[in-house]
Amino acid sequence: MNALKVALYLLVFPGFAFQSVFSTWLEWLDRKLYARMQNRRGPLYTGWSGMMQPVADIIKLLAKEDITPAHADRKAFAFMPVLSLAAVITAGLYIPVWHLSKFNSFEGDIVVVAYLLTIPSFSLFLAGWFSVSPYSLLGGTRVLTQLFAYEVPFFLAVLTPAVVSGSWRIATIGAYPWTSGHWWVMPIQIIAFGVAILTLQAKLERVPFDIPEAETEVVGGPLTEYSGKKLALFRLQKDILMYVGSALVACVFLGGFRGGLLLGTLQLVLKTMFVVALLSVVRAACARIRIDQLVSFSWRWLAPASIVQFLIVLLIKAKGAM
Percentage above 70 pLDDT, the chain: 99
- The answer, yes or no, to whether residue 173 has pLDDT greater than 70, is yes
> How does pLDDT run across 19-67, given as a tens digit for each residue?
999 999 999 999 999 999 999 999 999 999 999 999 999 999 999 999 9
- The answer, yes or no, to whether residue 216 has pLDDT greater than 70, is yes
Mean pLDDT (whole number) for 204-211: 93
- The answer, yes or no, to whether residue 249 has pLDDT greater than 70, is yes
Residue 221: its pLDDT value, please?
Answer: 87
- The answer, yes or no, to whether residue 93 has pLDDT greater than 90, is yes
Residue 95 CA, distance from chain mean position: 12
Residue 47: its pLDDT value, please?
Answer: 92
d(CA 123, CA 224) in angstroms, rounded, equals 14
d(CA 213, CA 321) in angstroms, rounded, equals 46
State the DSSP code for 273: H
Mean pLDDT (whole number) for 251-265: 92
Residue 318: its pLDDT value, please?
Answer: 83
Average pLDDT along the chain: 93
Residue 312: its pLDDT value, please?
Answer: 93
- The answer, yes or no, to whether residue 121 has pLDDT greater than 70, is yes
- The answer, yes or no, to whether residue 220 has pLDDT greater than 90, is no
Closest residue by Cα to residue 158 from 109, 211, 225:
109
> How does pLDDT run across 275-310, given as a tens digit for each residue?
999 999 999 999 889 999 999 999 999 999 999 999
Run of H or E residues at 102: none
Mean pLDDT (whole number) for 101-109: 91
- The answer, yes or no, to whether residue 203 has pLDDT greater than 80, is yes
Percentage above 90 pLDDT, the chain: 83
Residue 144: its pLDDT value, please?
Answer: 93
Residue 217: its pLDDT value, please?
Answer: 77
Closest residue by Cα to residue 211 from 293, 269, 129:
293
- The answer, yes or no, to whether residue 1 has pLDDT greater than 60, is no
Residue 98: its pLDDT value, please?
Answer: 86
Residue 5: its pLDDT value, please?
Answer: 85
Q: Which residues contact 60 (CB under 8 A, 6 or more apart)?
A: none
